[in-house]
Amino acid sequence: MKLIEKVQVKNRLGLHTRPATVIVQLLQNCRSEVSFTCRRETINARSLLSILMLAARQNSKITITVEGQDSEARKTMEALVEAFENRFGE
């Protein structure tokens, strides 16, 4: 199953180290493949360095793609969208 959602970076400082760390920790026990696309660049969302290299600023649009088994892919997508919506707890 392949799920695709678009989110907006709401953090004032964009996707800096703290939100990137939250994303990587969120995906630690997930078996689905997760990628982010921002400004035509697609990266592996499990890589802290790759997330930082996206240089996604506040209000940047990111497309999240999750590929995996039905229930796990849905849970992963929901958790990621919620994290973006809640500004990663900041």
Query: What does each C-alpha distance from 71 to 2, 34, 49, 51 come to in angstroms?
Result: 11, 14, 28, 25
pLDDT average, residue stretch 47-70: 96
Rounded-to-integer distance, Cα 50 and Cα 53, Å: 5
Which residues have a catalytic role annotated? 16
Q: What is the pLDDT of residue 44?
A: 97
The number of folded domains in the chain is 1
Number of continuous H segments (helices) and E segments (strands) in the chain = 3, 4
Structure token digits, residue 25? 């920790």
Inform me whether the pLDDT recorded for 89 exceeds 90. Answer: no
Residue 57 confidence (pLDDT) above 90: yes
Domain coverage including residue 50: 2-89
pTM: 0.94
The predicted-structure confidence for 7-41, as pLDDT tens digits, reads as follows: 999 999 999 999 999 999 999 999 999 999 999 99
At residue 90, the pLDDT reads 83
CATH of the domain at 85: 3.30.1340.10
